[in-house]
Every structure is written in structure tokens, then in C-alpha cells.
Amino acid sequence: MRYFIELAYNGNAYHGWQNQPNAISVQEVLEKALSTVLRNPISVVAAGRTDAGVHASQMYVHFDVEVLFDEKQLVFKLNSFLPSDIVIKSIFKVKDDAHARFDALSRQYLYRVSLAKNVFNTDFSYLINNELDLDKMNEACKILFSYKNFQCFSKSKTDVKTYNCDIKFANWSVFADELHFVIQADRFLRNMVRAIVGTMIEIGSGKLEVEDLHTIIQSKDRGEAGFSVPAKGLFLTKIDYPESIKLKS
């Protein structure tokens, strides 16, 4: 039997989502909790990987088990067992061939830029003192829709078959004393969102022109793009799946 778990986590204490040989990961903590509560060795497959320090307000994983259990009771038991920076939102049964990674239709990320020092969001946003031109940054967002290959925003040492991504939405908006960048695509490359944000901050601060983004993307060279913003301001916020993966109750 295959199940999906919807969870959220504060990534500050973890070396990313994926299991690491010499560092603590969200995956490791979740698998240990599942294995302990269900009294079976459990491994999970996630919708994607988040880097060290990146957060998720919505992540999905799938796991297989032959033990019968009550989904709501398991949510309660896991949340009692897990540390306070990981929370299980729901568990539901899916078709046996449903896949948390390959069946995902899109992923959405939020990046938070703080425009004023705030002791209550220091760990969850990137403080910047420069005045940014939001109109120019949103003009740059429109350019992203003209391209598919985003190698210029990818970490150079990454094992992928293609650098193509279908960006469906990208926008900057003002939220209180913060700027929020929201981007949605079918898939993302390693470090892609943080590199896009850093490049757009350089556009917004006048270090780059909006039209420079064409040259940067066409170069397929990470060295041509802007800096990578810190991980702490990045959140995986939404993953969409077809309704057909769920089992009808």
C-alpha cells in the first residue's frame, strides 16, 4: 500500500532534505520517526530536494507499507514524536504507482526579502538595505517566460539530463516591510531560485539592466548571472498533483 504524506519544516537545523552521510537531514528524521511508530523500516521518496537551510510550508513524500493504520492517528503520533521544526499535515492513501516526484505537475517557491530589520523574521528572510525598483524586477520576470533553458542559474556541478524548465508564474510584490518573490514551474534546478532572486536584486538596484537578463540566460553560464541569496529566505510553498493519484474512499 502506498501513502502520501504532506508535511512542513523549518530548514534551519538541517543540511537539506536529502539524507547525508555526515549531517542531519529532514529525510533522516522523518524516516526514523515513521520506522519507529510503524515498527517497520520505512524509506520515503520526496517531491524534490531542498538545500541546506531552505524551508518548506508544503512538501509531499510517498512511502510503502503493509501495516494497517488509521491515518489521523498516525499524524498525531508522528507529530508527538517529531521535533518541533517538522510537522505532519496529512497522510492519505494513493494508487500503488503514484509517485511524489514524477507525478508532481508543478512546484512553487517563495523568497522573502526584508526591507527593515525585524527580530522576528531574521531566520526567515534576507535583509537588504538598498532601495529596489520593483517595476524593473517585474519586467525581468516577464523575460523568464521567453526561455526554457536555465543553465545560467544552476549549480555547475549537478547531475541533470536537461536544464529545461517551464516557468509558469513569476512575480514580485510588496508585503508589509518585505518583498515577496513567487515563482512556479514544472521543475527547478539546484540553486535556481536563489540565483534568479540574486540576479533580480542586481537589476532592481541598478547594477544590471533589465535587458541584460536576455544575455545572461543565453550565455548558459552561471558566472554571468547574479549572486545567490541566502537559503534562509526560501520556502517551498506548493506542489500540485493530478487528482487521479488519490484512491477514492
Residue whose C-alpha cell reads 509531499 in the numeric block: 60
Residue whose C-alpha cell reads 517585474 in the numeric block: 138
From 51, 64, 133, 212, active-site residue: 51
* Rounded-to-integer distance, Cα 175 and Cα 104, Å: 28
Question: Is 133 among the catalytic positions?
Answer: no
Partners of 111 in the beta sheet? 181, 234
Burial call 138-176: b when 16+ CB within 10 Å, e when fewer? bebbebbeeeeebbbbbeeeeeeeebebebeebebeeee
Local structure of 6: helix, strand or coil: strand
Q: Which residues are catalytic?
A: 51
